[in-house]
Amino acid sequence: MKTTADGAYVIFGGMTWPVPGTRLETAELRLRYGRATTQDIALAASVMAAYRQMVGDSEAKRRHVLRNVRAAMSPLHEKVEP
């Protein structure tokens, strides 16, 4: 499992998932109040795609993904460049 240096995404099993955290919170505020950057819009699109994917996935796959996303949120997890 790898996480991007900014902590916005976790990469594992050939998949990339957005990670809740400061970067996502900042993007949400910018989108909500009209000062969104192109990066904020791309992050929001990836969250929408992740939601769509999770709704269609089996419970076992959702648990697998969430286990890895939560591990990436741990302060002990090392951040690496993609």
pLDDT tens per residue across span 48-60: 999 999 999 999 9
Tell me 79's DSSP state: P
Angle at Cα 48 formed by Cα 17 and Cα 34, nearest 5°? 115
Angle at Cα 1 formed by Cα 44 and Cα 23, nearest 5°? 30
pTM: 0.77
Contact 20, 10 (CB under 8 A): no
Question: 22-33 and 38-56 are packed helices; what angle lies between their axes, rounded to 10 degrees?
Answer: 110
- Each residue's pLDDT expressed in tens, for the chain with a length of 82 residues: 788 777 788 888 888 999 888 888 999 999 999 899 999 999 999 999 999 999 999 999 999 999 888 888 877 665 544 4
Q: How buried is 13 (Cβ within 10 angstroms: 0-12 exposed, 13-18 middle, 19+ buried)?
A: exposed
